[in-house]
Structure 1
Amino acid sequence: YGNPALKCSIDIDLLIDADQLLAAATILRTNGYRLVAPAKSSDGDLKRWHRGWKESVWRSDETAMQLDLHTRTADNDRLIPNINVRSPRQDVLVGGRITLPTLADGELFAYLTVHGASSAWFRLKWAADFGGFLSGKSGEALEHLYRRSQALGAGRAPGMALLLADRLFETLDRNPDLRGELRRDPEIVRLYRTSLHLLLAGPDEPTASRLGTLPIHMLQLGLLPGPGYMLSEIWRQTRRLFDRPPV
């Protein structure tokens, strides 16, 4: 974005090793952050929360800054299982003054597609961010990113995201062969159509109605092929309903 004022963000995502969770929590508390989700929880509650959720939410009362502390990059650990704090990284310039580390492009692409799929891309700003990330990349680079994401275990999420970006921004005009390949996969097309429907459904977000998020939960069942993943995802979603600390 160049100027950070052009991008309004709620939080900062910070990825750590899972075994450093309690140490990181101590550092955050020492620096004035309090735990928002799960709220008023012991260390044991926090560890249990992170078994079902990839992040906990912390907020500074002094600055109002929100920080999401991640111990993995996907809610289901079968997705992108090897993207972690030891993955290849790059430094990015933020606002022309601050340099911060993030994932290298291949890993970042895979992560962004899985992250978007976790909410079925129902907000246009997420798709716009993704389209911006891809805007300067050649057709050959898009091909490389997609193949790399498959090696990293991102499943159908990258194909769905690319078709959505193509619909909104004509991203795959630079690689029509890849567009054709993705369009021939019926499961990828089904996921893409679900996400497009949620994106275009209207001003009310899926979270605003009681069963509005049901299509998102159903979509998540198909992000990887095979019954093993589907069963693990059903178990994960069920466990999150019943095994959570107080919020």
Structure 2
Amino acid sequence: MQEKRIQVETEWITAALRGEKPAMTEADTEALLEAAVHHRLVPQLAAVLSGHEEERLTAALQPLRLQHMFFALRLAGETSRLAQLFNQRGVELLMLKGPALASLLYGDTGQRMTSDIDMLVPPEALDMAACLLRSEGYEENCYFSTVLPDWKWRHHHRTFYHSHTDVKVELHWRLHPGPGKEPAFRELADRSQTEKLGGVPVPVLGNEDLFSFLSVHGARHGWSRLRWLYDIHQLMKRKLDFRLVKQVMGDLHPIGASALILSGACFGTALPVHEKRWLMGRKATVLAEQAFYYMYRDIELHAEHVSRETASYHQAYQRSLLSWRRKMLLAASFFYPYPEDVKLLPLPERIHFLYVPIRPFLWAWRRSRRASPAEGS
């Protein structure tokens, strides 16, 4: 029953954003408001509902829209300030999302709900970038161990938070978690474009790289927030070279095709007719169908507790995103030591290389310890 209700709310929101005027009852208002917040589409929905006969929903959206606009202005100011600081210190960067993306795709930093600033720096400049953020009062919230060098390819960003401004920065050195091949920073920078925030030029990914990044990012999260698909919808209003898109995405190109299928289904996105064969590929179609599981449920993948059913589905879904080559690479990565191995059997740093040959034994040891009865039982 709840899934059916969420499906109705999702379809109502997508219909409204397609320019239709779906009917609703007074009882729907609170549920639609919650759905708009969940999907991070409050500004877009408030804009299209101006003049809608359902004044109660419009009135409820306006305070949330204003609250976000004030925060967006603060984020935009900090984004331009950090861009200037990094430029002055000779550290290259590319803004991935946040206010720069909102300005690029929507023409207004307040028209896209965002909670942080995502920036990409060259891997060799990561330590310098982290020092710059700390010098500005940011504190790192490290969510992974750096005791082994695996973090450099297993993970893709470090998180920093400023307690006084309430601003979070995700400092990327990769676009997505590894293992897997990605375009080099220099390659991305050469294709980048500039967006001005408060008169300050801020470098942003080029359209084709942006399409690839947004598609893979949204797919990794199951498109559980419609905002990510609406970004694709907005991006498709710009000029894209799909030959370059497929070149950039490589063996992940079915993910890009599935993003277009979903965007077309939800928001009526004008799809590239000359790419019909690409869009109708079997894997792209299957991935698009699988994503509706997330859209028609109230799923928070970053919540502290995720249901066993959702966790199992998401694990299988993420595997389905990968090509056979990436699946083999992921399987091979399990033979590389994890921080848990160091915790189980601490060794001096100079002989950490021994974790590689003994990794299977340490894995079996951990499994046996988990399976054994608790002490004193």
Q: Normalising by structure 2, what TM-score?
A: 0.54
In 1, Cα distance between the equivalents of 2:338 and 2:158?
Answer: 16
Residue 171 of structure 1 corresponds to: 269
Aligned match of 2:201: 99
1:54 to 146, 150, 156: 156
Deviation (angstroms), 1:48: 4.6
Higher relative contact order (CA 8 A, sep 6+): 1
Q: Which residue of 2 aligns with 1:71?
A: 173
Structure with the higher fraction of residues in helix conformation? 2
The structure whose residues are more often strand, as a share, is 1
Q: Which residue of 2 aligns with 1:156?
A: 254
User: What is the Cα deviation at residue 3 of structure 1?
Assistant: 2.9
2:143 corresponds in structure 1 to: 38
SS in 2 for 1:101: strand
User: Residues of 2 paired with 1:237 and 1:9: CA distance?
Assistant: 34
Q: Secondary structure at the match of 2:320?
A: coil
Cα root mean square deviation, aligned: 3.0
The percent of aligned pairs where both chains have the same amino acid is 22
Contact 2:232 2:260 in 1 (8 A): no
1:198 maps to amino acid: Y
Does 1:187 find its partner at 2:279? no
Q: 1:177 & 1:133 partners in 2: Cα distance? A: 18
Q: Which moved more, 1:30-39 or 1:159-168?
A: 30-39
Counterpart contact for 1:16–1:70, Cα < 8 Å = yes
- Report SS of the residue matched to 1:222: helix
CA-to-aligned-CA distance 1:129-172 (integer Å, 9 cap, x gap): 221121355xxx4xx33x32221123321011111111112224
Q: 1:93 to 1:214 in 2, by over 3 A?
A: farther
Q: Is the 8 A contact 2:224 2:294 kept in 1?
A: yes
Match of 1:84 in 2: 185
Partner of 1:7: 112
* SS state at 2:215 partner: helix
Aligned pairs for 1:207-222 within 5 A = 207-208=302-303, 209-211=306-308, 212-222=310-320
| Gap change, CA 1:127 and 1:63, over 3 Å in 2 | same
1:99 deviation in Å? 3.0
Q: Measure, in 2, the Cα distance between the counterparts of 1:68 and 1:244.
A: 27
Shift of 1:119: 1.0
**Cα separation, partners in 2 of 1:204 and 1:216, compared to 1, 3 Å:** closer
Please state how far the C-alpha of 1:240 moved relative to its aligned partner: 11
Tell me which residue corresponds to 2:222.
120
SS where residue 20 of structure 1 aligns? helix
What are the superposed Cα offsets for residues 72-102 of structure 1, whole Å, 9 maximum, x if unpaired? 11213435x11525421100134x6443111
Work out whether residues 207 and 235 of structure 2, in 8 Å CA contact, stay in contact via their aligned partners in 1. no
Query: What is the correspondence of 1:190-209 to structure 2 with a 5 Å cutoff?
Result: 190-199=286-295, 201-208=296-303, 209=306
Q: Is the 8 A contact 2:150 2:338 kept in 1?
A: no
After TM superposition, the structure 1 stretch with the greater mean CA deviation from structure 2, 159-168 or 127-136, is: 127-136
Counterpart for residue 129 of structure 2: 24
Which structure 2 segments of 5+ residues have no match? 1-105, 344-377
Secondary structure in structure 1 of the residue aligned to 2:321: coil
Q: Which runs of 5+ in 1 are unaligned?
A: none
TM-score (norm 1): 0.79
CA contact (8 A) 1:13 1:67 kept: yes
Partner Cα separation in structure 1 for residue 134 and residue 342 of structure 2: 19
Q: Secondary structure at the match of 1:13?
A: strand
Deviation at 1:118, TM superposition (A): 1.4
CA distance in 1, matches of 2:333, 2:230: 29
How many residues align? The count is 231
